[in-house]
Amino acid sequence: MILGLFEQYPALAVAIILGFVAGITIHEAAHAWSAYMLGDDTAYREGRVTLNPISHLDVLGTVMLFMVGFGWGKPTPVMISNLRGARLGAVAVAFAGPLSNLLVVLVCAALYLFPQFQEGYLQLVIAGVAFVNALLFVFNLIPIPPLDGSKILFPFLPRALDGFVAFMNQYGPFILLSLVLLTWLPGVASPLNYILAPVQPILTLLGLPLIF
């Protein structure tokens, strides 16, 4: 997907890559930092409380991002039993990732207020980074394991839904992959397209330019 974009719009492809590198790095670093602040030093001891992309980018996930437009970073290790706040601590660590992506979008919106960021390649970089991080924000809030949305929602579900939670934890990754695959089939309306619909309104609300 991104490789194909390089052929037609190389500058846009670079801007989107910058967005993904920054977004994934900041997202995973936010998980690691919040876990460390709440008492779990697992990620800290593995060198994950850093903004160095090498510490957070997954090789296969990066290759898949270039090839098919869908990738991932290294999961941040968290020992929930070490966290202060029990259930709320775990929810806070999970929410830190998507929240960090939203903060990146807000920073882009602030920079876009300055004239030098409203034209040329800087405008394209702002638009690309903001779009990707808005996408990561919305996507990661989907309540399907292993996404953060499930870790935010599931702890608050009643015990009567324990069977549903167990089912989703086992089959959620396959469900998520199926939703992604559906977006590539011509003439098929994937539910993921509707789930990600808030991305453009978020950018518009913040006065950011749209690239798609």
Q: Go through the chain and tell me how many residues it has.
A: 212
CB 65 within 8 A of CB 2: yes
- Cβ atoms of residues 203 and 129 within 8 Å: no
- Please confirm, yes or no, whether 119 is among the known catalytic residues: no
Rounded Cα distance between 139 and 190, Å, is 14
**Residue 101, number of CB atoms within 10 A of its CB:** 26
Looking at 7, 28, 46, 119, which residue is catalytic? 28
What is the rounded CA–CA span in Å between residue 145 and residue 173?
6
> 202, 131, 147: which is closest to 31 by C-alpha?
147
Active centre residues (catalytic) = 28
